[in-house]
Amino acid sequence: LLFTNAGMNQFKDVFLGKGTRDYTRAVNSQKCIRVSGKHNDLEEVGPSPVHHTFFEMLGNWSFGDYYKAEAIRWAWELLTGVYGLDKTKLYATVFTEDDDAHRLWESETDIDPSHISRHGHKDNFWEMGEIGPCGPCSEIHYDLGEPLPGRVSPPDDGPNSDSGRFIELWNLVFIQYFRDEKAKLNDLPATHVDTGAGLERIARVMQGVDSNYGTDLFRPVITAIEERSGIPYDERNGVHIPHRVIADHLRALSFAVADGALPGNEGRGYVLRRILRRAARFVRQIGINEPFIADLVPVLVDVMGEHFGELAARKDHIIHVLRAEEESFGRTLDRGLDMFEELTAGLEEGGVIAGKAAFRLYDTFGFPLDLTRQMARERGLDVDVKGFDKALEMARKKSREALKGPAGEGEFTVVTEGPHSEFVGYDFLSLKTNLRMVRLEEGDLEAANDPDVIGKPLFAVVLAKTPFYAESGGQVSDRGMIKGRELHLVVEDVRREGDLCLHFCRAMRLPKDGEWPSLVEADVDQARRSRILPHHTTTHLLQAALRETLGEHVTQAGSRVGPDSMTFDFTHFEKLSPEQIARVEARVNRWIREDHPVTASLKSLEEAKTAGAMALFGEKYGSVVRVITVGEGKSPVSLELCGGTHLRRTGEAGLFRIESESAVSAGVRRVECTAGEAAYERMTAEREALERVADLLGSRGSDPAGKLARLIERQKAMEKEVERLKRAALQGGVRFVEEWGEELVIDGSPLLVVSGVYEAATDRDGLQSAGDKIIEDLKKAGREGIGLIGAPVEETFMFVAVATPGLVKKGVHAGKLVGAFAKRAGGGGGGKANFATAGSRDLESANALLRNRAEVLKFVRGFLAE
């Protein structure tokens, strides 16, 4: 689940019988995002007055406590007694077979009996999945009095119709069955209640406005959009969809980024990217041609920041992330829109955009499929989704990397019975323990005892207790050995799968009798573990130093902690300066020298959060968590939730270095660092390399950097002189206008077309210099003209097109000309109106095309006539 999309997500384990709570009743207001999967509302957002990507779900739950009577009575009391809704406009629906709910609506409330209706599975039976808890539901609808524009309300209109006159306010779900593998409904030992009411819909009804977007939740944002665009929001006359989409998507993006999510190419990151790009396209549609979404964040904070402190606290971060993402997409949006125009130019209403074409929009210009479909619908067109999916899958197959780890499909062999997978590696690196289970992952058993065979069989091994750390929280797993009677296993990787801790081991020796020993000795590679510890502890110090130096907006977005280095991804909107890097590095090393204690303790999740412990976004935590504290007193250096292995004191890290800093995505930076022995090794290697450079320069002990700088300056000067001589030779070799110019008359105006294959150019610079020379020669001759030349450059045939200023003023565009010409040779390109380049991989076709001057003149004549 990428986002919380319903209030019940956090209670799913209770309904499945896998978890418990120390309470039997609950009530909350849950922030939700619905974009994909079962609850895909994205394409409805804008046209629909009630659908949103982000919304607040009000809910109340009973876990084996109250049931239908109380749920129905209290819902009615809240809507009519507290919210003051008109009883005559409220309608209740019940499941066809739920006689109890129908009877309770009549006995527990004063609803008009004629306003109670029964409906089938589709509308009034809730299921978590094909197998699992389920039950009937009862929905409360509100009569708006009128159907949606363009729809008809029949005389017998009511809830669940297509008219849009009735909107669902509240759904009361009565979980009383468990559907088994045979689709049979079995009574649950305890019944539960799960209800959900949309805050935005209730606000709409209470405020008496035409849609959710007319409420005070949206109106200030829409007003800001009106002011910036100059286009008034008008639901009655259909001028409203862009305003709605931008206002809605702003909320989803802002709340997701405030909670730690970031736009990206995978998972929840790509969901955010899709949302933003859809909004950005609607920004252009209302005449705003620069990044705008981020400008609305302060308005949203004014509306909701008082109740959601995270919006106000991270306002600047949200603005930076959204602006960077919109600017990035803006660089390709216009070209993508141009391509869409080309794709649809010949299509009539009802036509279909080919799947491959939609994929090109996605692959080249970053247009999500739903954005292309939205644009197509606006023109009465459709998109070949199956063709798009096929093209996408083909692209994925080409680029897919073999990242699958070992995962056996066979059965485990049970060696001994009893508890398993207890991790004791915080305190022990070597111990004797019982071997519980083994499973062959790959390879031949006989290869284990054959010294001449290199490829040893791979097993997944489960121990009763293990000192091996399983990869999690960014820290790599331990390695080492497991030995027993006639058994020698080399542990290569350790991972948790469910409640099992799996040790993936190469078998160097197996018992000849085929019987696995019940008792084994598990030994962690202590030298490797000792190199990992300083990297993990300094990760915590690094985050503290980054927050101190850059600001409280910095949060961890990922990490990789290994024996030779560690990488740390964090939220920040710009490249770190050398001074900032030096300051962060110095701060961490100071904490190392101060030799602070590093302690681990177990606390309740609430207690840890209250103490200020930092948690990793996207990580799941139980009710009891492990807290790593660096330092002492009320203001420790660092306080984080962490299950990894650590040093006992910061001084044991010895040394910390930031090796590099780079961008991961918009709003996320990455630093690669070393600590401890790895940092010393890197420093020693650099010193030795510097000494070798000094020896080569003959300046050891003096000023090797100064001497190297002087050599570089001298080399640059020589390269400039070589380039000058080369350019002079090229330009003096051909008289372009006299030798390659052909007269052409367009609309009574003469011009010269200079074309040909310029074989003297051996690289891109040479060809571009020739283009400059053509313009210079045309000016000297007092002529207007176009140049279209080319040459093979490495594995590509490169074209250059130029146009004189007079022709540019008349609308001639060299970029469009060269792009269209290169397309005839299977290539493409473009550029400015006066100078542009293109290329083709088909060297033979491109060469022949450009050598045919009659064909070139014909092409130019046709191009200028358009």
- Secondary structure letter of residue 431 according to DSSP: E
CA distances from 699 to 692, 693, 765 (A): 10, 9, 37
Quote the tokens at residue 461.
């091994």
Strand ranges, E, within 485-578: 487-497, 500-509, 519-524, 556-561, 566-571
Please state, in angstroms and rounded to a whole number, the distance separating the CA atoms of residues 26 and 113: 30
Q: 7-214: which CATH number, 3.30.930.10, 3.40.50.300, 3.40.50.620, 3.60.150.10? A: 3.30.930.10
Domain locations in the chain? 7-214, 218-331, 346-400, 413-524, 530-684, 734-865
Q: Which CATH architecture has domain 530-684?
A: 2-Layer Sandwich (3.30)
CA distances from 778 to 155, 410, 799, 802 (A): 78, 77, 19, 11
Q: Which CATH architecture has domain 413-524?
A: Beta Barrel (2.40)
Q: What class is the 734-865 domain?
A: alpha beta
Please choose, from the candidates 563, 565, 534, the residue with its C-alpha nearest in 3D space to the C-alpha of residue 673.
Answer: 565
Phi, psi of 389 (to 5 degrees): -60, -40
Task: Identify whether the C-beta of residue 410 lies closer than 8 Å to the C-beta of residue 80.
Answer: no
- Block mean pLDDT (10 aa), the chain, length 866: 75 74 89 69 83 93 93 97 96 96 96 96 88 92 90 89 92 92 88 94 95 96 95 84 95 93 82 90 90 96 94 91 87 80 80 88 82 85 90 71 40 90 95 95 84 85 96 95 95 92 94 92 97 98 96 90 96 92 98 97 89 78 89 92 96 97 88 97 93 84 82 88 68 76 88 91 85 91 94 91 94 93 91 93 92 93 87
Quote the tokens at residue 823.
């397309």
Quote the tokens at residue 827.
């290539």
Note the pLDDT of residue 402. 28
- Secondary structure letter of residue 221 according to DSSP: H
Please state, in angstroms and rounded to a whole number, the distance separating the CA atoms of residues 288 and 603: 51
**DSSP per-residue letters across 156-205:** T--TT-SSS-EEEEEEEEEEEEEE-TT--EEEEEEEEEEEEEEHHHHHHH
Task: Identify whether the C-beta of residue 671 lies closer than 8 Å to the C-beta of residue 567.
Answer: yes
Record the pTM.
0.60
Please state, in angstroms and rounded to a whole number, the distance separating the CA atoms of residues 301 and 315: 7
| Amino acid making up residue 576 | L
- Give the per-residue SS3 of 240-265: CHHHHHHHHHHHHHHHHHHCCCCCCC
Scanning 764-852, the segments in alpha helix (DSSP H) are 764-780, 805-809, 814-823, 843-851
